[in-house]
């Protein structure tokens, strides 16, 4: 008779959802937050987080989660988990608080209105908008964007090794706009100079990036997509095609 061989091919791909916190009073006032811990979610921010919670609850169960230590992220995380619970889902587990998930450190700018900084520190603000990696604050001694990238690399090391050791299919990461953008750029294998160049790699409040790595050994991701609960989830884009687009734009700049 015929023998039937069943070959089980283990799926070693891992997905990571990077989410930005909901709208805060500082966001609404256009006040710089950075690592300051003074801002809180607005009613709109709470609604955004609840909507994201409903989306997350419809996904396969997420068992591994990380969160920034800052209050606006902890608040958003709680609302996301509550949104899932309201949808007859157990919600998210207690997160691992990861210090390096806090937002970009903006030193003397923190707590100030953007419009005031544009007037009072125009030279540095112009550098921040034109070539963010060149920005130096604290009397020229501190590079905010480069520091943020260093923390992004550290975050991936910690989070990916945790996913590998716990066989987590999907890991949820609650953080901020700048550190989230640095982590995406890192995962896509793009140059640091891509930071701030395009809304393509930026996160609005309670938007997410979903990033997939083919295996735990992969240096860079294989594909990614944007999740915005107010719209249809975008199509997957390959990391390779994203790198090509970035290279093409760079040569035409």
Alpha helices in 30-104 (DSSP H): 43-57, 71-85
Q: Select from 98, 40, 42, 43 the least CA-distant residue to 65.
A: 98
Give the span between the Cα atoms of 194 and 107, in whole angstroms: 22
Per residue in 185-217, pLDDT (tens digit) is 999 999 999 999 989 999 999 999 999 999 999
Name the pLDDT band for 132 (thresholds 50, 70, 90): very high
Phi/psi at 35 (nearest 5 deg)? -90, 5
Q: Give the pLDDT of residue 211.
A: 98
Mean pLDDT value of segment 19-41: 99
Burial 200-217 (b: 16+ CB within 10 A, else e): ebbbebbbbbbbbbeeee
Q: What is the DSSP letter of 85?
A: H
For the record, the structure tokens of 29 come out as: 């006032």
Residues with Cβ within 8 Å of residue 82, at least 6 apart in sequence: 50, 53, 91
14-252 classified as CATH 3.40.50.1240: yes
What percent of the chain clears pLDDT 70, i.e. is strictly above it?
91
Instruction: Give the pLDDT of residue 174.
Output: 99
pLDDT digits (tens, 9 = 90+) for 85-119: 666 667 799 999 999 999 999 999 999 999 999 99
Q: Where are the domains of the chain?
A: 14-252
Determine the pLDDT at residue 250.
58
Residue 178 pLDDT greater than 50, yes or no: yes
């Amino acid at each position: 008779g015929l023998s039937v061989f069943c070959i089980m091919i283990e799926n070693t791909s891992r997905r990571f959802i990077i989410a930005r916190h909901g709208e805060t009073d500082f966001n609404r006032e256009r006040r710089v937050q950075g690592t300051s811990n003074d801002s809180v979610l607005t009613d709109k921010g709470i609604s955004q987080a609840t909507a994201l919670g409903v989306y997350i609850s419809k996904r396969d169960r997420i068992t591994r989660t990380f969160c920034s230590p800052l209050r606006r992220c902890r608040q958003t995380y709680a609302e996301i988990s509550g949104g899932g619970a309201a949808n007859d889902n157990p919600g998210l587990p207690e997160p691992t608080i990861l210090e390096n998930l806090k937002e970009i450190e903006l030193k003397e700018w923190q707590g100030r209105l953007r419009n005031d900084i544009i007037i009072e520190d125009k030279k540095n603000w112009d550098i921040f908008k034109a070539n963010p990696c060149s920005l130096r604050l604290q009397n020229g001694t501190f590079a905010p964007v480069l520091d943020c990238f260093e923390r992004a690399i550290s975050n991936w090391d910690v989070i990916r090794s945790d996913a590998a050791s716990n066989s987590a299919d999907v890991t949820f990461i609650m953080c901020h706009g700048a550190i989230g953008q640095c982590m995406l750029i890192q995962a896509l294998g793009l140059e640091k100079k891509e930071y701030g160049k395009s809304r393509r790699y930026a996160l609005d409040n309670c938007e997410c990036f979903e990033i997939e790595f083919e295996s735990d050994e992969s240096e860079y991701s294989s594909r990614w997509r944007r999740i915005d609960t107010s719209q249809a989830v975008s199509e997957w884009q390959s990391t390779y095609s994203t790198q090509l687009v970035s290279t093409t734009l760079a040569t035409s700049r």
